[in-house]
């Protein structure tokens, strides 16, 4: 993939991931997502973003998103967007049917070469905010 394509893909994957997570936080934005290796993707959201008409989340959801992003991105430098995509994928994997025993293990299996400590940290943050269930805990 050319460098120009990476610059375009990465921010869009992050935006789609934020909208996906916002839906999990209770915002009924009306977008449906399909799961791709790069994160959740919505064709309609892509069209709305291109046309400049993508909606903004309600304040309550925006506050929770800001909290999530600040926790995911503290000390991560250039990797903030990647951590947001990891968070969205972990949240999506925990909602698969049948669900994997561990979304973290499933993520690491499907994305070889990723630093396991980063994935575990992201999962811990998601669990602390109630977005996913902690590994080993049953409902």
pTM across the whole model: 0.86
- Six-digit token string for 73: 């991105």
Q: Which residues pair with 39 in a beta bridge?
A: 36
Nearest residue to 111 (alpha-carbon basis) of 82, 137, 81: 82
Q: How many CB atoms lie within 10 A of CB 87?
A: 28
- Residue range 78-128, pLDDT digits in tens: 788 999 999 999 999 999 999 899 999 999 999 998 999 999 999 999 999
Confidence at residue 60, expressed as pLDDT on a 0 to 100 scale: 95
pLDDT at residue 77, as a whole number:
66
């Amino acid at each position: 993939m050319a460098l120009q394509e990476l610059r375009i893909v990465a921010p869009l994957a992050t935006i789609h991931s934020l909208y996906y997570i916002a839906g999990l936080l209770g915002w009924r934005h009306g977008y449906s997502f399909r799961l791709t290796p790069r994160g959740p993707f919505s064709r309609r959201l892509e069209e709305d973003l291109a046309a400049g008409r993508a909606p903004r989340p309600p304040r309550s959801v925006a506050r929770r998103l800001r909290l999530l992003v600040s926790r995911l991105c503290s000390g991560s430098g250039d990797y903030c967007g990647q951590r947001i995509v990891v968070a969205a994928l972990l949240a999506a994997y925990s909602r698969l049917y049948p669900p994997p025993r561990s979304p973290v293990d499933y993520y690491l299996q499907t994305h070889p070469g990723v630093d396991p400590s980063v994935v575990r940290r992201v999962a811990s943050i998601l669990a602390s905010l109630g977005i996913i269930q902690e590994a080993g805990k049953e409902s």
